[in-house]
Amino acid sequence: MLKRFKADLHIHSCLSPCSDWAMSPKKIVQQSLEVGLDLIAICDHNSAENAGATMREGNRQGMQVLPGMEICSKEEVHILALFDELAPALEMQAYVYANLPGENKTEVFGFQVIANEQDEVMGENPRLLIGATRLGLHDIVKKTHALSGINISCHVDRPAYGIINQLGFIPENLNLDGLEVSYRIKLAEAAQAIPGIENFSCVTASDAHYLNDIGKAWTVFQMAQPSIAEIRLALAGKDGRRILV
């Protein structure tokens, strides 16, 4: 049976240097439940180190949490990689880390806090998570798909790190699973508002860096369960699965 899932698939945690300290795994799950979401994904910049704790906390509190990350390609395009399980997300993270130069400067970019589900600080990530990787978009998509994940190109309406502004177009052979428009544009109006996206499935998400922004934008998926396989079907509009706007 198909059900409706209200999803916010782009939420940062305190691991992202530009994110608020209050974005701990526990508080993210609490806030997501409070605003009535059924499904969330944790997508920090170039890292999934807080995904596991948020998944465990989601499990405890009854919120489906998917592990993911917002990867910055060498073209300086932000792209989400989303997975069902932690293991492939961490394998993707290892691939990203091997291609991510630089060290974080906390005084310039901010703290990168690794937290557990009890809201305890486990450490800080020393890498330059806000930086661009040496990975091309095609490499990222190929690796994500090999790990059974999906890719959604982020905030395509935005000048900063959006694929249309960075490349001028969306490469047809890139095999993206979908596009994300920011909260600034209504999903129903996206295809009219942004030339070049007509042939893609679009979602919207909060891209929250602060607790109060969680659920600021969301997408309703009609599907059987909150899994990557079902989201993939909904993005493709197959078997009755679809995106409701």
Residue written as tokens 């544009």?
A: 185
Q: Is 158 in the site for Zn ion (CB under 5 A)?
A: no
Q: Which stretch binds Zn ion (CB under 5 A): 85-93, 98-106, 156-164, 166-174?
A: 156-164
Shortest Cβ 5–Zn ion spacing (Å): 21
Among all residues, whose Cβ is closest to Zn ion? 78
Provide the 10 A C-beta neighbour count for residue 173.
6
Q: Quick one: which of 34, 15, 10 has its CA closest to 212?
A: 34
Distance of CA 66 to the CA centre of its chain: 9
Separation of alpha carbons 51 and 69, rounded Å: 9
Give the three-state DSSP class for 186.
coil
Q: Is 57 in the site for Zn ion (CB under 5 A)?
A: no
> Which residues make beta-bridge pairs with 84?
none
> Which residues make beta-bridge pairs with 181?
204
Site for Zn ion in 61-80 (CB under 5 A): 70, 78
Q: Please give the sequence-ordered ranges of beta strands (E in DSSP) within 32-84, or none if there are none.
A: 39-45, 64-72, 78-82
Shortest Cβ 238–Zn ion spacing (Å): 28
Q: Please say which residue, 207 or 230, places its beta carbon nearer to Zn ion.
A: 207
Q: Which stretch binds Zn ion (CB under 5 A): 46-54, 138-146, 154-162, 166-174?
A: 154-162
Distance of CA 150 to the CA centre of its chain: 10
Q: Is 234 in the site for Zn ion (CB under 5 A)?
A: no
Q: Which two tokens stand for residue 105?
A: 């400067």
Q: Please say which residue, 48 or 154, places its beta carbon nearer to Zn ion.
A: 154
Q: Which stretch binds Zn ion (CB under 5 A): 56-64, 81-89, 171-179, 201-209?
A: 201-209
Q: Please say which residue, 30 or 166, places its beta carbon nearer to Zn ion.
A: 166
Q: Which two tokens stand for residue 79?
A: 């792209």
Check residue 188 and report its DSSP letter: G
Shortest Cβ 89–Zn ion spacing (Å): 16
Q: Quick one: which of 225, 199, 175 has its CA closest to 7?
A: 225
* # residues contacting Zn ion (CB under 5 A): 5
Q: Is 82 in the site for Zn ion (CB under 5 A)?
A: no
Q: Please say which residue, 41 or 115, places its beta carbon nearer to Zn ion.
A: 41
Shortest Cβ 239–Zn ion spacing (Å): 30
Q: Please say which residue, 57 or 207, places its beta carbon nearer to Zn ion.
A: 207
Shortest Cβ 79–Zn ion spacing (Å): 9
Q: Is 154 in the site for Zn ion (CB under 5 A)?
A: yes
Contact call for residues 238 and 76 (beta carbons, < 8 A): no
Site for Zn ion in 202-221 (CB under 5 A): 207
Position 67, amino acid: P
